[in-house]
Structure 1
Amino acid sequence: MEMVLRALAIYLVLMVVFKIAGRRALMQMTSFDLILLLIISEATQQALLGNDFSVTGAALTIITLVVVDMLFGYLKRYLPGVEATIDGTPVILVENGRLLENKMKQADISYDDIMAFARNGQGIDKLADIKYAILEQNGHISIIPATK
């Protein structure tokens, strides 16, 4: 039972930490992010398993994590508002070539982040050519070009 409670606790802690870190953390992985991810995974592994390195303990932990993830999936599907609370909602960052700076500050997204997505995804190099830039739930920025 201790393994199940450990897995549940770590799952919830990581969910809260990444919610606080914001979607920007999901946008692009830098070298620092990779190092941080490796350290987090090692610390998580130790917290999940404690001193039990048995196959049974690992299997129980994995099953618990999958079941908890499935449970959250069902909650998001059947209870209104849960998905928005857990995953957030899309945020418009640019509207008709104009930066919405208050939304950008809230999402911790810079002009350079938006323009990088515009260049890579649409070949757009001017803000005026963007009708909408939308920060999606998964941390990516969708660019809708302005019609000419």
Structure 2
Amino acid sequence: MEAFYRTFLVFVVGYLFLRFTGKKAVAQMHTFDLLYILILTNIISTPVEVNNLVKAITYAAITVILYKIFIRLSLHNKLRWIIYESPTVLIQNGDIDREGLKKVRMPLNELLSHLRVKGYTDIQSIAMAVMEETGNLSIIPKSEYRPVQPNDLNLQVKKEFIPIPLIMDGQIIYHNLKYLQIDRGWLINEVENKGELVENITLATLLEDGKLFIDNNEEKEHNSNPYYYKPGRDN
């Protein structure tokens, strides 16, 4: 029972520390962010094996505070360039920057692989490719190769509407109902009018026209229609 209590407490404390730290530390991590995560996980996991729970939590709290201080310092431009690495240009105006590749220790075939993943096969179509400080590759195509934008054609487009989930995995999303000022009874009535049950619905969203879109758990038969082919043996 004590082992369960100690493990549960360590898990909860670690979760709360990461929540307190913020999304940045667990998303696209810099070198300093990764070091922080490694140190924190080692500290908070110690009580699972040895009997120093309070001391470990104290050290973990100090680590979190120091990390928050360094993050605040990184908001100042001069200190930011000391704490974090600078972006590295790998391609500029269609030419590969070999010094940049050497700096990030990336072979040419790996660079080409990254470009293919991003949908680019010809380096001559790239205005700039940069290895960001997070390790991600940013690619800016030349103007003649970028996708056509409505503004290029002087087209007026309406504002994008994001369908709002009201039911997910058979559960009603009540905070979205409250935000939209929609009564639960209206939702149930709409679901029943479509011959569905809430518990059988994978996703139900409110569309721009005020109608309800429903995706249930049933898969439709497509009678070997090639447009609905699934890779693997599940056809």
Specify the TM-score bucket, using the shorter chain as the normaliser.
0.5 to 0.7
The CA deviation at 1:133 is 0.5
Secondary structure at 2:134 match in 1: coil
Q: TM-score normalised to the size of structure 1?
A: 0.60
Find out whether 1:86 has 2:83 as its counterpart: yes
User: What is the one-letter code of the residue matched to 2:83?
Assistant: I
- Distance in 1, Cα, partners of 2:93 & 2:108: 15
* Alpha-carbon distance in 1 for matches of 2:132, 2:55: 37
Are 1:137 and 2:133 counterparts? yes
RMSD: 2.8
Aligned residues of 1:93 and 1:104 also touching (Cα < 8 A): yes
Query: What count of residue pairs does the alignment treat as equivalent?
Result: 107
Answer yes or no: is the 8 Å Cα contact 1:114–1:133 preserved in 2: no
More helix by share: 1
The structure 1 residue matched to 2:117, chosen from 115, 120, 123, is: 120
Which residue identity is paired with 1:146? K
Deviations 1:10-34 (A, max 9, x none): xxxxxxxx57xxxxxx9xxxxxxxx
Q: What is the deviation of 1:125?
A: 1.1
Bigger Cα Rg: 2
Q: What is the distance in 2 between the residues matched to 1:52 and 1:85?
A: 37
Runs of 5+ unmatched residues, structure 1: 1-17, 20-25, 27-40
Q: Residue 147 of structure 1: SS of its match in structure 2?
A: coil
- Alpha-carbon offset, residue 124 of structure 1: 0.7
Q: Which residue of 2 aligns with 1:108?
A: 105
Identity value in percent: 21
Closer, same or farther in 2 for the Cα pair 1:53/1:147, shift >3 Å? farther
Q: Distance in 2 between matches of 1:77 and 1:52?
A: 38
Relative contact order, higher structure (CA 8 A, sep 6+): 1
Query: Where in structure 2 are there 5+ consecutive unaligned residues?
Result: 1-30, 145-235
TM-score, reference length from structure 2: 0.40
CA contact (8 A) 1:132 1:144 kept: yes
Match of 2:91, SS state, is strand
In the alignment, the residues of structure 1 paired with residue 125 and residue 100 of structure 2 have an alpha-carbon distance, to the nearest angstrom, of 19
Q: 1:49 to 1:101 in 2, by over 3 A?
A: same
The answer (yes or no) to whether the contact 1:93–1:99 under 8 Å persists in 2 is yes
Aligned partner of residue 89 in structure 1, secondary structure? coil
Per-residue deviation, 1:52: 5.7
Secondary structure of the 2:65 match is helix
